[in-house]
């Protein structure tokens, strides 16, 4: 089994927050089974802001929030080239990383979803819902070796 990383990028910086509000309302109707999401916003000057994780479910594991935040930092943060090289070496798709980084230009935003292999979340259901939104959908899967690399990056950055 594999972990899933889904990134929905938007052309305007406020769109990720609007999409999150819609997903949050669906959670109340038990449409969403996702544990966490993180928003990444690039302002007009190109500065990247990574927001704290928003809980979209009732049960979360501490490791999941660390992995998601570190993924956001590795893909969009200031040391992204070095971190992306480590993730690629561990097994994360290089083309996926390149496409996602390119999709987030100035005055844009993205939502990141990390769905671990042992999650009860329905990845296909989430993808179906996200395809209804106005954004570019990026999806990849990865092994626990990538997760371990991500957690080691977090430990080394402290």
Tens place of pLDDT for every residue, the chain, 158 residues?
799 999 999 999 999 988 888 887 776 544 565 656 888 999 998 888 887 655 555 444 456 777 888 888 888 887 777 888 888 998 999 999 999 988 999 999 999 988 888 877 788 888 998 999 989 999 999 998 888 888 887 555 54
Count of Cβ atoms closer than 10 Å to residue 30 Cβ? 7
Enumerate residues 6+ apart whose C-beta is below 8 A from 118: 1
**Domain positions in the chain:** 3-157
pTM to 2 decimal places: 0.84
């Amino acid at each position: 089994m594999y972990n899933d990383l889904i990134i929905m990028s938007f052309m305007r910086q406020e769109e990720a927050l609007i999409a999150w509000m819609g997903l949050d309302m669906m959670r109340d109707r038990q449409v969403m089974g996702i544990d966490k999401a993180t928003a990444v916003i690039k302002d007009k000057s190109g500065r990247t802001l990574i927001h704290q994780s928003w809980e979209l479910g009732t049960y979360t594991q501490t490791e999941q929030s660390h992995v998601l935040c570190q993924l956001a930092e590795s893909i969009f943060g200031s040391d992204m080239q070095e971190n992306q090289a480590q993730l690629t070496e561990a097994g994360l798709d290089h083309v996926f990383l390149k496409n996602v980084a390119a999709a987030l230009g100035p005055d844009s935003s993205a939502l990141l979803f990390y769905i671990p292999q042992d999650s009860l979340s329905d990845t296909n259901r989430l993808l179906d819902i996200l395809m209804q939104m106005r954004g570019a959908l990026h999806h990849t899967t990865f092994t626990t070796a990538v997760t371990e690399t991500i957690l080691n990056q977090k430990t080394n950055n402290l």
